[in-house]
Amino acid sequence: MTASVDELHLIARRIRKTVLELSHRAGTPHLGSSLSCVEMVVAAYWGGLKLDPAFAADLSQDRFILSKGHAATTLYAALAMKGIFPESWLEDYAKPGSPLGEHPSPGTPGIDVATGSLGHGLPVGIGLALASRIQGRDDRVCVLMSDGECNEGSVWEGALFAPAQQLNRLTVMIDYNKWQATGRSDEVTALAPLREKWSAFGWRAVEVDGHDVAKLVYWLNAPPDADGRPTVLVAHTVKGKGVSFMEDDNNWHYRIPSSSEVTRALAELQPL
Amino acid sequence: MRNAFADEITTLAERDSRIVLLSGDIGNRLFNDFKERYPSRFYNTGVAEADMIGIAAGLALGGLKPVVYTIASFAIYRAFEQIRVDLCYPNLPVVIVGVGAGLGYASNGPTHHSCEDVAVLRALPNMTVLAPADAWELRSLLEAALQLTGPSYLRIGKKGEPLVHETRPAIQIGQALEIRSGSDIAILCSGTLMPQTLKVASDLESTGIKTSVFSMHTIKPLDEKLLGRLFRDVKLVVTIEEHSRIGGLGGAVAEWKADHFQANARLLRLGTPDQILHHSGEQEHALEMCGLTVEKMTSAIRQASAG
């Protein structure tokens, strides 16, 4: 790990600040979903994977796919902080002509895969992992999905296929915040027990606290499974994490924060 | 045609180590040679077409040249959104090969028919749509498709289609091949109805209607240069395809004609009707039901040409 846990927490708070400001300024939704996956994005970019902007085109780099594309602001904040594109781009987020739209667009620096429609990241990640193995590389692929995304059939097609190919350099993180757009994710579909489902599909399935950045970093750096299984981190999270009046309140799937709400939220995120 | 595909992809994979073949759990034994020679470059991705396209996108992003093979209806209809989002949006070089396109699987029933595949794929930005007339065209087009920088769809027949060409033709994507010449009527055919189309042309010729035939192996991008010339020089342009009259080659040519006021010739579109073909039967029976036999097509053209 290159950064200390305290530094990672500071980065996470700063990303939350950016996410809140972007949502307020552009009037874009999915704030709760963007806040719940911050530690996972931080772990990927600052603690786990080789995602050096200087070598973006180099195939030996690791790959991170934000399959839950509606959390784009979290990804954008991370990419800007990492210097993969200029921080100034954030000012034009979601404005006409900006490369940074409400969902990630391939061709934007640091973004390979079009996400926003759910259930796409895992199969593409499987293809990337397979490509590495075919070409004898040892890079890793990490796919961040949402719990609601597990409604999609393509997720389970991929869940069946990846273990059959023993793609043990593939890691999936599931942001299990217990909500999807209009209901509890365990009620809309029979999602629970989620870890057991993935385990039964042949994955090294681990339950983690999705806000415990040190634990996430640990698992992203864990040696590949000796039995060849791909890894899934079923990460328990809180939707709207980090802002008391947003936590576990699904209204913030769509609500846009007012300027006074942003001020109150930022006060809770101190020190920045 | 599927044997020619298996043979050609095996040859091409020898020359280009980036070629990876994905099969959607079909082609039992068809790819044995490929699998034996390149075991790390063949994957049966299972009965999971959506994933197969996504996986192909990942392979392309990872620096390889994936070729996806399954029954046309499954590849296109089941995985349409993956084709649009995973391939066309980032413009990735993936070749989708749809076998038994049109009515190649007629006897399997409407779940296996694909008479709307060109219509839906033609509407997608960055997509190239190809329909070879015979095994030789298939070989040339497959090789050309693998040179593209974006996605392509190769809609092919199944097995035992008669050859149209004697040798491998030099083919450029987007440039139709003239198969026979004639100055009264031009027939544009895409795909495996070419042998019937040639018979139609010679029947017309025998009654004094000079008929040219072109293989429109590329439906997108359309050979607009040829259309400009034909609609100026002949009195009737006919399209023939094993595909719905909505949105296929006929649809594409009709759109072109609507945009070109100076196009003089009339247009007759022959293809499958706007209906699900409920009745069971072999391909020949299905084509008969659709009016796509030599006799019926000749009669329709004769009528249009007299009118």
Note every long-range contact of A88-93, with CB atoms under 8 Å and residues 24 or more positions apart, other chains counting.
Answer: A90/A18, A90/A22, A93/A22, A93/A25, A93/A26, A93/A28
> Would you say B161 and B103 are in contact if contact means Cβ atoms under 8 Å apart?
no
**Residues B132 and B234 placed together within one structural domain of the fold:** no
pLDDT in tens, B179-192: 999 999 999 999 99
Classify residue B172: in a domain, yes or no: no
| Mean pLDDT, residues A13-42 | 98
Report chain A residues whose CB lies below 8 A from the CB of B56. 127
Residue B68's CATH number: 3.40.50.970
**Residues B150 and B258 placed together within one structural domain of the fold:** no
Task: Check if the interface score ipTM surpasses 0.95.
Answer: yes
**Residues B142 and B228 placed together within one structural domain of the fold:** no
B198 pLDDT tier (thresholds 50, 70, 90): very high
> Residue B264 is which amino acid?
N
Would you say residue B80 has pLDDT above 50? Answer: yes
Classify residue B161: in a domain, yes or no: no
For residue A181, the distance in angstroms to the closest alpha carbon of chain B comes to 21
Contact A122 B54 (CB under 8 A): yes
Angle between helices A259-268 and A5-26 (to 10 degrees): 180
For residues B62 and B94, give the distance between their C-alpha atoms in angstroms, rounded to a whole number: 12
| Mean pLDDT, residues A37-48 | 95
Would you say residue A79 has pLDDT above 60? Answer: yes
pLDDT in tens, B203-212: 999 999 999 9
Tokens of B63: 């620096």
**Residues B116 and B214 placed together within one structural domain of the fold:** no
Is A122 near chain B, with CB under 8 Å? yes
Which pLDDT score is estimated for A57? 66
A1 pLDDT tier (thresholds 50, 70, 90): very low
Half-sphere exposure at residue A27, Cβ-oriented, CA atoms within 13 angstroms: 1
**Residues B132 and B183 placed together within one structural domain of the fold:** no
Classify residue B286: in a domain, yes or no: yes
Q: Where does a domain end: B155, B189, B223?
A: B155
Would you say residue A60 has pLDDT above 90? Answer: no
| Mean pLDDT, residues A134-161 | 97
For residue B72, the distance in angstroms to the closest alpha carbon of chain A comes to 19
pLDDT above 90 covers a percentage of chain A that reads 93
- Closest C-alpha among B1, A22, A53 to residue B9: B1
DSSP designation for A51: -
Classify residue B33: in a domain, yes or no: yes
| Residue B213: domain span | 177-306
Which pLDDT score is estimated for B280? 81
**Residues B218 and B181 placed together within one structural domain of the fold:** yes
Location of structure tokens 């094993």? B242
Restricting to A residues 148-187, those with a Cβ less than 8 Å away from any Cβ of B are: 153-154, 157-158, 160-161, 165
Classify residue B171: in a domain, yes or no: no
For residues B131 and A2, give the distance between their C-alpha atoms in angstroms, rounded to a whole number: 54
Classify residue B281: in a domain, yes or no: yes
For residue B107, the distance in angstroms to the closest alpha carbon of chain A comes to 28
Would you say residue A111 has pLDDT above 70? Answer: yes
Contact A107 B90 (CB under 8 A): yes
Contact B54 A114 (CB under 8 A): no
Tokens of B136: 């030789």
**Residues B148 and B7 placed together within one structural domain of the fold:** yes
Would you say residue B119 has pLDDT above 70? Answer: yes
Would you say residue B38 has pLDDT above 60? Answer: yes
Classify residue B34: in a domain, yes or no: yes
For residue A129, the distance in angstroms to the closest alpha carbon of chain B comes to 8
Give chain B's domain count. 2
For residue A82, the distance in angstroms to the closest alpha carbon of chain B comes to 22
Q: Mention every residue, 6+ apart, whose C-beta is less than 8 A from residue B8.
A: B138, B139, B142, B143
Query: Of B46, B55, B89, which is closest to A130 when you measure between CB atoms?
Result: B55
Would you say residue B163 has pLDDT above 90? Answer: yes
How many CB atoms are located within 10 Å of the residue A6 CB?
Answer: 8
B263 pLDDT tier (thresholds 50, 70, 90): confident
pLDDT above 70 covers a percentage of chain B that reads 100
**What's the alpha-carbon Rg for chain B, to the nearest Å?**
19
**Residues B87 and B213 placed together within one structural domain of the fold:** no
Report chain B residues whose CB lies below 8 A from the CB of A154. 48, 50-51, 54, 82
Contact A123 B86 (CB under 8 A): yes
| Mean pLDDT, residues B65-69 | 98
For chain A, the average pLDDT equals: 95
For residues A48 and A62, give the distance between their C-alpha atoms in angstroms, rounded to a whole number: 9
Would you say residue A52 has pLDDT above 80? Answer: no
- Closest C-alpha among A242, A255, A221, A263 to residue A2: A221
Report chain A residues whose CB lies below 8 A from the CB of B51. 123, 126, 154, 157-158, 161
**Residues B150 and B184 placed together within one structural domain of the fold:** no
> Would you say A203 and A230 are in contact if contact means Cβ atoms under 8 Å apart?
yes
**Residues B185 and B149 placed together within one structural domain of the fold:** no
Four-point Cα dihedral A232, A237, A240, A243, nearest 10: -130
Residue B283's CATH number: 3.40.50.920
Tokens of B23: 């099969």
Specify the 3-state DSSP secondary structure of A95. Answer: coil
Q: Going along chain B, which residue ranges are E strands?
A: 19-23, 42-44, 65-71, 95-99, 128-130, 152-155, 177-180, 185-190, 211-215, 218-220, 236-244, 266-272
**Residues B224 and B140 placed together within one structural domain of the fold:** no
Q: B303 burial class (0-12, 13-18, 19+ CB within 10 angstroms)?
A: exposed
Domain boundaries defined on chain A: 5-268
Would you say residue A14 has pLDDT above 80? Answer: yes
Superfamily of domain A5-268: Thiamin diphosphate (ThDP)-binding fold, Pyr/PP domains (3.40.50.970)
**Residues B188 and B263 placed together within one structural domain of the fold:** yes
Angle between helices A72-81 and A5-26 (to 10 degrees): 120
For residues B170 and B152, give the distance between their C-alpha atoms in angstroms, rounded to a whole number: 19
